Amino acid sequence: MDARDEQNDEQIAARVQKGDMEAFQILVERYDQKMGRYARRFLFDGDDSKDLVQEVFIKAYVNIRGFDITRRFSPWLYRIAHNEFVNALKKKKKERANVSLFDFDVLFPHIRLTASETADTDIKQHELKEVLETSLGKIPQKYREPLVLYYFEEMNYKEIADVLRIPVSTVGVRLQRGKVMLKKLVTN
């Protein structure tokens, strides 16, 4: 392993700030899959997601000198992504495409079907997946986004608060309300 890879994100960002522009590639490699996953959950479109993730990294690169290396890098990057994705949603709102919100296998990895199960079970699982995707899409963005950041991006309340620029207590409230909304939609 290269010693450069052992540095934390903030140390690498400091190197970029000092002119080592090639070090930014290490950050891109560390966050490319995470940003892609976040984009797909937020935007629901694979092609748009890839383009917007590239835009996120371009903006991060251009603005890296404004990053405070005494703070954590990941919330700063997720904030840039949040802003890009919100702007993309505003543009796309007019189109209102019917898209998938999440991968059922990621959300429920413990539910696996075996070959011996009946076609009836397959149909029920497919119907459940459709209900969950539709339901998550009906939750307002201000409740859906904390759910995605918490459950899919595995951020803690403080990191979510930094990304969304809301108080930590508000993160908890939005997560709770989002879960209640999702449960009501799924059980109806």
Model pTM greater than 0.85?
Answer: no
- From the list 92, 107, 106, the residue with the least C-alpha distance to 48 is 92
Q: What is the pLDDT of residue 98?
A: 37
CATH number at residue 151: 1.10.10.10
- Whether 32 shows a pLDDT value over 60: the answer reads yes
Q: What is the pLDDT of residue 116?
A: 45
Distance of CA 117 to the CA centre of its chain: 33
- How many angstroms separate the CA atoms of 146 and 176, rounded? 10
Looking at the 3D structure of the chain, how many domains does it have?
2
Domain of 147 in residue numbering reads as 100-188
One domain, residues 6 and 23: yes
Total length of the chain: 188
Q: What digits encode the pLDDT tens for the residues 61-74? A: 999 999 999 999 99
Q: What is the pLDDT of residue 129?
A: 54
One domain, residues 67 and 125: no
One domain, residues 115 and 168: yes
Q: Would you say 78 and 37 are in contact if contact means Cβ atoms under 8 Å apart?
A: no
What is the DSSP secondary-structure string of the chain? --GGGGS-HHHHHHHHHTT-GGGHHHHHHHHHHHHHHHHHHHH--HHHHHHHHHHHHHHHHHHGGGS-TTS-HHHHHHHHHHHHHHHHHHHHTTT------S-HHHH-TT----TTS-HHHHHHHHHHHHHHHHHHHHS-HHHHHHHIIIIIS---HHHHHHHHTS-HHHHHHHHHHHHHHHHHHHH-
Q: Choose one of 44, 77, 96: the last residue of a domain.
A: 96
One domain, residues 75 and 151: no
Which carries the bigger pLDDT value, residue 111 or residue 161?
Answer: 161
Q: Choose one of 42, 69, 96: the last residue of a domain.
A: 96
Instruction: Give the pLDDT mean for 5-16.
Output: 92
Residue 4: pLDDT band with limits 50, 70, 90 = low
One domain, residues 90 and 5: yes
Q: Choose one of 96, 128, 147: the last residue of a domain.
A: 96
One domain, residues 107 and 72: no
One domain, residues 16 and 104: no
Q: What digits encode the pLDDT tens for the residues 113-141? A: 444 455 666 676 666 556 656 677 788 88
Which carries the bigger pLDDT value, residue 179 or residue 128?
Answer: 179
Specify burial of residue 41 (Cβ count, 10 A radius: 0-12, 13-18, 19+). buried
One domain, residues 3 and 82: yes
Phi, psi of 120 (to 5 degrees): -60, -40
| Average pLDDT of every residue of the chain | 80
